Amino acid sequence: MNPKWVLLLSIAAMLVVVDGQSAVEPRVKTVKGKKLCDKGWECKGWSAYCCNETISDYFQVYQFENLFAKRNSPVAHAVGFWDYQSFITAAALYQPLGFGTIGGKFSGMKEVAAFLGHVGSKTSCGYGVATGGPLSWGLCYNKELSPDKYYCDDYYKLTYPCAPGAAYYGRGAIPIYWNYNYGKIGEGLKVDLLNHPEYIEQNATLAFQAAIWKWMTPADKHQPSAHDVFVGNWKPTKNDTLAKRVPGFGTTMNVLYGDLVCGQGPDNESMNNMISHYLYYLDLMGVGREEAGPNEVLNCAEQKAFKPSSSSSS
């Protein structure tokens, strides 16, 4: 058979499966007065979050295709790599923990848009006059193209020793750099990324898992995760308030990038690019950018970093 047809047929088969999965009714039980659910592969393990709509209920293949419309165009740099199924499979690990499943469908959609806003901005090859507009080029990359170093930090030679010959350049959906970051994320995912950083550029499910892990995991003790600050799990302390850190999208950038983008005033291009992707995705998902809230929660222009200095970078 013509390979093109095989591909089309397998895509068709996948659509049917995905469609079937989104209709799954959760199994329900009550433990100490709390309703818990298990929804099979997508939301497994008796969690209250699994009683709610899950990501495949409100975010479908066509929406993923709209958000990342240009990723498979001939000039893109990771043609054929990223797909919907990899995202959903990766998200399945974290939905029982609240990723995309807190507070009902509408809040879930906002979190998915926010997470993907980070992803789109970090993997975009769009520029001002690109066809389709600069925001339609997310997931254009899956790795740094011309790394000029190995990103091996010897300070961690006991905890996260660099494997001979391995290069820890940027890879993934929210790119990972440096041996210690590959090491930490590998521990989190129970995959030996320290010895095999290349797995991230070979496996889109793993690449999305690593990005969602970053979103769900605090960078440090006494710090919230991006997920926590976005969904409102995090309650700002007095210090946070003094540092202008408020729950919302702006503070997710503080968690993930610190003073590389935050506290640099309203003109930081990297900050504004992430915000633009988030708003664009809210529109495309049918939520609408007006739901993103006021400018104070959207940006981090005046925020102090949770952890000053660039050591909070990725």
- Site residues (vs ligand NAG, CB under 6 A): 48-49, 52, 102-104, 191, 203, 205-206, 209, 237, 239, 260-261, 264, 268-270
C-beta of 314: minimal distance to ligand NAG in Å? 13
Q: Give Cβ neighbours of residue 253 (< 8 Å, ≥ 6 apart).
A: 118, 261, 262, 271, 274, 300
Q: Is there a contact between 264 and 308 (Cβ–Cβ < 8 Å)?
A: no
Closest to ligand NAG by CB, 147 vs 156, is 147
Q: 264 near 250, Cβ under 8 Å?
A: no
- Closest CB to ligand NAG among 69 and 173? 173
CA distance 28 to 35: 7
The residue among 85 and 270 lying less far from ligand NAG, judged by its C-beta, is 270
Shortest distance in whole angstroms from residue 52 CB to ligand NAG = 4
Closer Cβ to ligand NAG, 52 or 179, answer by number: 52
Nearest-approach distance from CB 294 to ligand NAG, in angstroms: 22
Instruction: For the CB of residue 157, give the shortest distance to ligand NAG in the complex, in Å.
Output: 27
In whole angstroms, how far apart are CA 220 and each of 217, 223, 227, 259? 9, 6, 14, 15
- Cβ at position 181, least distance to ligand NAG in Å: 17
**Rounded distance, CA 196 to CA 198, Å?**
5
- 149 vs 238 by CB, closer to ligand NAG: 238
Q: How far, in Å, CA of 303 to CA of 313, rounded?
A: 16
Nearer to ligand NAG, 62 or 106 (CB): 106
**Phi, psi for residue 129 in degrees, rounded to 5:** -105, 15
Q: Is residue 28 within a helix (H) or strand (E), and if so which, with residue range?
A: strand 27-31
CB of 200 to ligand NAG, least distance (A): 10
Name the residue with tokens 């969602």: 212
* Alpha carbon distance 118, 77 (integer Å): 18
Name the minimum Å distance from CB 292 to ligand NAG: 20
Residue pair 70/136 in contact by the 8 Å Cβ criterion: yes
Give whichever of 45 and 62 is closer to ligand NAG, judged by the CB atom.
Answer: 45
Angle, in degrees to the nearest 10, between helices 249-257 and 269-284: 130
The closest residue (CB) to ligand NAG is: 104
Spatial distance between the Cα atoms of 119 and 96, rounded to a whole number of angstroms: 21
Q: How far is the CB of 242 from ligand NAG (least distance, A)?
A: 8
* Local structure of 240: helix, strand or coil: helix
> Nearer Cβ to ligand NAG, position 269 or 290?
269
Short-list 220, 67, 209, CA closest to 135: 67
